[in-house]
Amino acid sequence: MQQWYLDLTYLFKSSMSAIAKTSRSRMQTIQSPVIPLIGELIQKNPGTISLGQGVVSYAPPHSAISAIQDFLANSQSHKYQSVIGIPELRDTIQRKLLHDNQIAIDENNCVVVTAGSNMGFLNAILAITNAEDEIILNTPYYFNHEMAIRMANCHPILVATDDNYQPRIDSILRAITSQTKAIVTISPNNPTGAVYSAETLQKINLTCQEAGIYHISDEAYEYFTYNQIKHASPASFPNSTAQTISLFSLSKTYGFASWRIGYMVIPHDLLLSVKKVQDTNLICPPVISQYAALGALQVEKSYLQHHLAKITEVRNIVYQQLTNLPNNCYVATANGAFYFFIKVQTTMSDLELVTKLIEQYQVAVIPGSTFGTDDGCYLRVAYGALTPENATLGISRLITGITELTQSINHE
């Protein structure tokens, strides 16, 4: 255990370092995603229950698989297609946006199909920034957002959320400078599970309008809300079109993670810039995946309702069990996505705690520092891929591990 932990700590700390030397490339100053590193540790400890990666357990709907036959039957499908997505899929997305998000597509905005919403985010950053510009992230942030900003030679400006991981509007206002190009929101949130109210999102959107900057709204978990909490799309607000960039994904909702299909809604005046980025990086989104997406978006709502009900059942089990965490732990309200974010009062680092949980208790979570937390030991718990049985056993192991490990540290 000791040698593995030292190796993992070295890789993680070196990748997190923001100190660049002139001899280094920009990529050497960017953190490495910790999920693959945790995955290697899981493989070394068979039987580990993963509460780590944010995926769902269910497969795409049959309509998505059937639509691939249409792709195979059309010889033209194997050639390059539109850089912004096949017209049939964009038309279907437009209808979905109007019905589910109250976002109307007209001459002022447009839909761009992407290889996942991560690509949409990078498209947006490259389209709206120059080197040294600033992008405001609420912390904890989604690590791929922070990485993309740094890859573009821009600066992530970190603004802490409150104890329930809700944005602090006053803090955001103070963070805006002449170099600011956008404020990013993620609701429902990864990694915290927080859902931002329509009122909060509208305040941020109006702030962007007044400051002449963009509001980048990541809505990958739009359908994953609980306890009658509703998701709000900032692009649906009045007069929001000119400053709002909305990012969506099929990865979670339709069990599409490896198919790499998402889409973005952007102001029309950004279209040429986004086309340049996407044509350079991708030429066109994978056409076979676009056909599958077209089939998925035509599925009956009962498909989503069935799977969301299952995830809600697992969420309730996890939430109830987390109430048994020791008093040195804090779990904020989380009414969205499929995450809980735990703060543990301990002198251990989050990476040390995660390593011991895997090796000694066979349960894996993600260290909070990869999401930008630097004021203590945080853990992200993901439950989207769990069955009720695995949830019960996995959270039981987690609670036992945290309790025993933190007590042993306190007694040393």
Residue 410 pLDDT class (50, 70, 90 cuts): low
- The pLDDT tens digits of the residues spanning 215-237 come to 999 999 999 999 999 999 999 99
Bridge partners of residue 298, in order along the sequence:
none
Residue 390 pLDDT class (50, 70, 90 cuts): very high
Q: Are residues 370 and 319 in the same domain?
A: yes
Neighbours of 106 (CB within 10 A): 9
Task: Give the least confident one: 3-12, 35-44, 77-86, 336-345.
Answer: 3-12
Q: Are residues 283 and 394 in the same domain?
A: no
- Asked if residues 327 and 354 have their Cβ atoms less than 8 Å apart, the reply is no
Q: Are residues 94 and 218 in the same domain?
A: yes
pLDDT of residue 356: 96
Domain encompassing residue 232? 62-298
- The pLDDT tens digits of the residues spanning 51-69 come to 988 899 999 999 999 999 9
Question: What are the Cα distances from residue 30, in Å, to 176, 347, 380, 384?
Answer: 23, 26, 21, 28
For 76, the 3-state DSSP assignment is helix
Boundary-marking domain end, from 266, 298, 330: 298
Q: What is the CA radius of gyration of the chain?
A: 21
Boundary-marking domain end, from 277, 298, 319: 298
Residue 16 pLDDT class (50, 70, 90 cuts): low
Average pLDDT over every residue of 7-27:
57
The CB-side HSE value for 257 (13 A sphere, CA atoms) comes to 12
Q: Are residues 192 and 333 in the same domain?
A: no
User: Shortest CA distance to 34 belongs to which of 11, 68, 50, 55?
Assistant: 11
- The pLDDT tens digits of the residues spanning 98-125 come to 999 999 999 999 999 999 999 999 999 9
Average pLDDT over every residue of 343-364:
95
Q: Are residues 278 and 311 in the same domain?
A: no
pLDDT of residue 90: 98
User: Shortest CA distance to 35 belongs to which of 317, 246, 257?
Assistant: 257
Bridge partners of residue 225, in order along the sequence:
336
For residue 109, the domain's CATH number is: 3.40.640.10
pLDDT of residue 18: 47
Q: Are residues 47 and 74 in the same domain?
A: no
Q: Are residues 244 and 293 in the same domain?
A: yes
Q: Are residues 211 and 129 in the same domain?
A: yes
- Asked if residues 123 and 113 have their Cβ atoms less than 8 Å apart, the reply is no
Number of domains in the chain: 2
Q: Please, what is the end-to-end C-alpha distance for the chain in angstroms?
A: 20
Q: Are residues 350 and 225 in the same domain?
A: no
Whether omega for the bond prior to residue 140 falls within 30 degrees of 0, making it cis, is yes
Q: Are residues 185 and 319 in the same domain?
A: no
For residue 36, the domain's CATH number is: 3.90.1150.10
Q: Are residues 200 and 131 in the same domain?
A: yes
Boundary-marking domain end, from 298, 331, 356: 298
